[in-house]
Amino acid sequence: MPGAPDLLRQIEASGALTDPAWKAAFAGVLRELFVPYYYVTGPDGAPQRLWRDDPHPEIRSRWLAGVYDDVPLATRVRDGELVSSSSQPSLMARMLEALQVHDGMNVLEIGAGSGYNAALLAHRLGDGHVTTVDVDPAITSAAREHLAAAGHRPRVVTGDGRRGAPAHAPYDRIIATCELSSVPSVWLSQCTTGALVLAPLGTGLVSLRVTDEQHASGRFHDLPVFFVPLRGAGPAQPKPPVRRGIPRHAQRNDSFQFLFGLTAGLMEPHEVYELWRTTGRPGRERYGVTLRKGEQWAWLDSPDGPCTWPLAGD
């Protein structure tokens, strides 16, 4: 039967999970405890639930196989909309390694999800060093149950993730497992000097080094990421469509799509294309984000260079 060793092999085969401490965490935390059910697309196109306790052995077998496959799993669907998921384990491994944690550090996770990521953090750092927050009481309640079943009791807070979790600050690391349009500046005030904030912006993953409560800056990783948008701070911003007039080769190119999403309608499509074309079709790692005294902007190559644009504020 599929199990944690199978998942571990898949993650390692993807090139992730090089740190022995994180390898031990993925080996020691059973994903099946965090996804008692999840949704797949049924034959009619509607969501179909695969459940651990389904009376049909075939469904239970499909459920277990999916749990230990290196794929994201839709864990909560409301009115046909995905509101929570268990992320792809190999992506989780890359993000956790990029977090650069050390023993004794305190970590805040934005977006509790199933609780699986918090359990991995708790395995690595200890329950008392991990706080996870989510705006949805149903999600936090389920996460607590899953974590307890796995033998972990980190702090699980029900609240707006954009406001962080000030009651348990300061944090040495903040990791967001939901898509953002900007980094909430209040997070910086809950960080220690030199803290690291790892957050998905659009389809990119940025690492920001915090110098004080008003300043942070850093670059994107070359890793594409796709997450459920952060909820609790108003309606999600619609994705700007790629309009006519953009060459097809650009529309199919990941680096163009990343830039187009990062500009979030602040530039006309042809302006985005010209920037992308004239700067050598830059990869994600050439972009970065800076927060400075209440202002926040994205940039290409340098935070004070000629290619910058503002990000949506808090």
Tens of pLDDT, residues 262-306: 987 788 888 999 999 999 999 999 999 999 998 999 999 999 999
CA separation for the pair 112, 178 (Å, rounded): 9
CA atoms within 13 Å, Cβ hemisphere of 36: 10
Indicate if the pLDDT at residue 154 is higher than 50: yes
Q: Single out the catalytic residue among 87, 90, 182, 255.
A: 87
Instruction: Determine whether 87 is an active site residue.
Output: yes
In this prediction, residue 239 carries a pLDDT of: 52
Token readout for 283 is 């990869």
- Is residue 213 within 8 A of residue 203, CB to CB? The reply is no
Cβ neighbours of residue 209 closer than 8 Å, sequence gap 6 or more: 194, 195, 196, 216, 217, 218
Helix (H/G/I), strand (E/B), else coil: 109: strand
Partner residues linked to 204 by β-bridges: 201
Q: Which residues of 263-296 are buried (b: 16+ CB within 10 A; e: fewer)?
A: bbeebebeebbebbeeeeebebebbbbbbeeeeb
Token readout for 163 is 């406001």
Report pLDDT digits (tens) over 226-262: 888 886 544 444 555 556 678 989 989 999 999 998 9
Report pLDDT digits (tens) over 184-240: 999 999 999 999 999 999 899 999 999 999 999 999 999 999 888 886 544 444 555
Strand residue runs (E) in the chain:
37-41, 47-51, 73-78, 81-86, 107-110, 130-134, 155-158, 171-176, 191-201, 204-212, 215-219, 287-292, 295-300, 308-310
Question: Strands of 308-310's sheet, edge to edge?
Answer: 155-158, 130-134, 107-110, 171-176, 191-201, 204-212, 215-219, 287-292, 295-300, 308-310
In this prediction, residue 193 carries a pLDDT of: 97
- List domains and CATH numbers for the chain: 4-219 (3.40.50.150), 248-310 (no CATH)
**Mean pLDDT, rounded, of the chain:** 92
**What would the mean pLDDT of 16-41 be, rounded to a whole number?**
96
Cα distances (angstroms) measured from residue 215 to each of 80, 186, 233, 240, 290: 40, 11, 22, 29, 8
In this prediction, residue 208 carries a pLDDT of: 98
Q: Quote the percentage of the chain above a pLDDT of 70.
A: 95
CA separation for the pair 88, 66 (Å, rounded): 11
pTM score, whole prediction:
0.93
